[in-house]
Amino acid sequence: MERRRFINFFFGGSFLATLAAFLYPVIRYVLPPKQAEAVQKKVAAAKMGDLAPNTAKIFKFGSVPAILVNTQEGQLLAFSAVCTHLTCTVNYEAATGTLFCPCHNGRFDMAGNVISGPPPRPIETYIVEVVGEDIFVSKKA
């Protein structure tokens, strides 16, 4: 092999190997994984007695926060805790009996409807089921 041809082959191959080593992780990062994240449909949110009346508890529903509310009347209600405006986490405000988003003062009633603030749509409500001492929360079909 002549010298010039060998040098061109050597540096051309090195350049391609460097380019591949740079692009491979970028492509792996950009493309979604073949297996989607598992969707959790039902979680054990709390035990009976964990929540006094007019209090709430944030829990994880899969990878997102959710909130379990024990109303003043002792009714258990569950909601997504992700605000429909810009995805801040909502809290239960005992004084008003509403869900409150501290980011932009969004407020939801106990049916999930927007009372005030910028949220564009109601917050997602979940089904609450009590089995023995456990409180399970599941997504609506």
Q: Quick check: 110 and 123 in contact, CB under 8 A?
A: no
> Which one of residues 65, 112, 118, 122 is an interface residue with ligand FES (CB under 6 A)?
118
Comparison of 54 and 91: residue with beta carbon closer to ligand FES? 91
Nearest residue to the partner ligand FES, using Cβ? 106
- In this structure, which long-range contacts are made by residues 33-42, counting pairs with CB atoms below 8 Å and at least 24 apart in sequence? 37/62, 37/63, 38/62, 41/138, 41/139, 42/136, 42/137, 42/138, 42/139
* 106 touches ligand FES (CB under 6 A): yes
Comparison of 85 and 139: residue with beta carbon closer to ligand FES? 85
* 58 touches ligand FES (CB under 6 A): no
> Which one of residues 41, 42, 47, 104 is an interface residue with ligand FES (CB under 6 A)?
104
User: How many angstroms from the chain centroid is the CA of residue 70?
Assistant: 22
